[in-house]
A = this chain, B = another copy of it.
Amino acid sequence: MAGGEEAGRARAADWVRRRLGYQPRDPALFEQALRHRSAGSGHNERLEFLGDAVLNLVVAGHLYRQYPEADEGALSRLRASVVSGESLARVAMALEIGPALALGAGELKTGGFRRESILADAFEAVCGAVFLESGFEAARELFLRALAPSLAGLDAAALNAAEGQKDAKTRLQEWLQGQGMPLPHYQVLEVNGESHAQTFRVSCRIDAVKASAEGEGHSRRRAEQAAAQRLLRDLGL
């Protein structure tokens, strides 16, 4: 039993060191952060409560500084997209958190180590653990780095909305209507990756002017926006 606990701590500490580049002082705290409630007492729900608040502030501070023109509503929407369960699960998956988790037998059997909510919650709990152990500034640096792809990938639609502009698909459609032309055709060309981390490649075509462009994104909607954005640029709009 004690041997099992020790192994759990060592595995947790090892993951935190290798994947986050953080040296835990208290491996037991990180074992708890990676322990789902299905694995019994000492699980990560309290740390998740704390880590959720840490991530909210880390991202709020970043967006506040990054988008000085965005109003309160736009900042809220941008943050929601970065700290959504889906987005955090993607980050957690990129950090290969799954094999580091402690799960109960039932969750193990049904593939809980791939379940979005379990991954996202564990990621939040790890953030809470770093905050407890090393304070806000350390957590901020570490998790801004981990969230960098999500922050860089804030989609054009959200950014335009943040700047009070319309999204690319809407602008393209309105321009076409103004020219008396039919709506563009969007077509999915390719879907890559497993169901939790898919990438879509989409084309946007305007037959009337024989113009087309492609875009990629983690959802069909985002890929379409990216394609429309590129086409707007190609058309000099």
Contacts and interface: CB of A to CB of B under 8 A. Distances in A.
Interface in A114-136: 128, 131-132, 135-136
17 contacts: A46-B64, A46-B71, A46-B75, A49-B60, A49-B64, A49-B72, A49-B75, A49-B76, A53-B56, A53-B57, A53-B60, A53-B61, A56-B56, A57-B136, A61-B131, A64-B128, A136-B137
A46 B66 CA distance: 12
Copies of this protein in the assembly total: 2
A116 to B, nearest CB: 18
Interface string A38-52: 000000011011100
A60 B64 contact: no
A72 B56 contact: no
Interface residues of A, number: 23
Contact of A50 (B46, B49, B64, B128): B64
A172 interface: no
A84 B53 CA distance: 16
Contact of A54 (B57, B75, B132): B57
Nearest to A76: B49
Interface centre among A48, A61, A70 (most CB of B within 10 A): A61
Contacts of A61: 50, 53, 131
Interface string A96-119: 000000000000000000000000
A131 B45 CA distance: 27
Contacts of A128: 64
A173 to B, nearest CB: 31
